[in-house]
Structure 1
Amino acid sequence: MSDSDLIKLYSKRILALAADIPHLGRLPAPTVTVRRRSPLCGSTVTVDLVVEDGRIADFAQEVRACALGQASAALSGRVMIGRSRAEVEKARDELRAMLREGGPPPGPPFSGYEVLEPARDYRNRHASILLALEATAEALAQAEAAA
């Protein structure tokens, strides 16, 4: 990877997002907790949810990831409250398609992922970028199964 590729990949916007992740921390009494880890890079995201009537009523995340994974967690974290399992799974699937198949970024309310389009060429970063949405989708599925 050249220096210009690194500069492009870790743009100022990505670094700003990584420095301002909403809902950082843990919830005192979550309905469900899911921890996901990328075996390739070691990034982890732990998600705590309180789920009421099939929607996220409260949300917290602990993010230990590269700047790309942190930026992704920031983008999703700012809109998680009130989301349903279907909405989160749709955003996860759209993000995966954006990275792997050149599809468009996730639509509203999960806007902003176009900032991560330069990561398409770096498959080793995809798992970290997907962690926050994958963990949240899995947590919602677990909460639904337990209900």
Structure 2
Amino acid sequence: MSDSDLIKLYSQRILALAADIPHLGTLADADGHARKRAPMCGSTVAVDLRLKDGRIAAFAQDVQACALGQASASVLGDVVLGRNRAELQAARDALEAMLRDSGPTPDAPFDGLAVLIPAREYPNRHASVLLAFEATLAAFDAAVTADADRNSRAG
């Protein structure tokens, strides 16, 4: 990879997002937790969340990833509160299509992911870019499963 490729890939906006990731940390009383790892690069993202009425009411993330993965987590963290699973899945799928198939930028409120368009040319980074979304979806599913288990024991 040439120096100009690196400069294009790690633009100032990507680096700014990576330096200011919302909701860093953990939630002690999370409804759901998940940790995902990108095997090719070793990036990891762990997510804790609480749900209310099928939407994310509280969110925390621990992001150990390259600047691209961090930027993706930053955009997600900025808009994740109040989102339901369908919205998150649609954003994740649109992000993957944007990267792998030169698809359009994800719809608002996830349109900030457009900053990651240069990552299209680096397939080995795609898993890291998708990681925060995949961990969030897995944590969402874990919360729903835990709630169903509690309800079945109570009933």
The normalised TM-score by structure 1 is 0.97
1:125 to 2:125 alignment: yes
Please give the secondary structure, in 2, of the residue aligned with 1:97.
helix
Deviation for aligned residue 1:142: 2.2
1:83 to 2:76 alignment: no
Hey, what's the Cα distance between the residues in 2 that align with 1:109 and 1:146? 28
Deviation for aligned residue 1:141: 1.9
Partner of 2:153: none
Gaps in structure 2 of 5+ consecutive residues:
148-155
Hey, what's the Cα distance between the residues in 1 that align with 2:20 and 2:139? 23
Please give the secondary structure, in 2, of the residue aligned with 1:132.
helix
Q: Percent identical across equivalent pairs? A: 65
Partner of 1:33: 33
Counterpart of 1:98, as a letter, is M
Hey, what's the Cα distance between the residues in 1 that align with 2:145 and 2:95? 25
Partner of 1:54: 54
Please give the secondary structure, in 2, of the residue aligned with 1:78.
helix
Deviation for aligned residue 1:22: 0.3
Partner of 2:150: none
Partner of 2:70: 70
Give every structure 1 segment of 4 or more consecutive aligned residues whose post-TM-superposition deviation is greater than 4 Å.
none
Hey, what's the Cα distance between the residues in 2 that align with 1:50 and 1:146? 11
Of Structure 1 and Structure 2, the greater helix share is in: 2
Partner of 1:18: 18
Hey, what's the Cα distance between the residues in 1 that align with 2:26 and 2:82? 18
Hey, what's the Cα distance between the residues in 1 that align with 2:16 and 2:38? 23
Structure 1 or 2, whichever has the larger Rg, is 2
Decide which moves more: 22-31 or 134-143. 134-143
The normalised TM-score by structure 2 is 0.93
Counterpart of 1:118, as a letter, is P
Please give the secondary structure, in 1, of the residue aligned with 2:111.
coil
Alignment deviations for residues 62-111 of structure 1 (CA, whole Å, 9 cap, x no partner) = 00000000000000000111000000000000000000000011111112
Hey, what's the Cα distance between the residues in 1 that align with 2:13 and 2:70? 12
* Preserved contact between residue 33 and residue 138 of structure 2 (Cα < 8 Å): no
Deviation for aligned residue 1:134: 0.8
Deviation for aligned residue 1:145: 2.8
Partner of 1:135: 135
Gaps in structure 1 of 5+ consecutive residues:
none
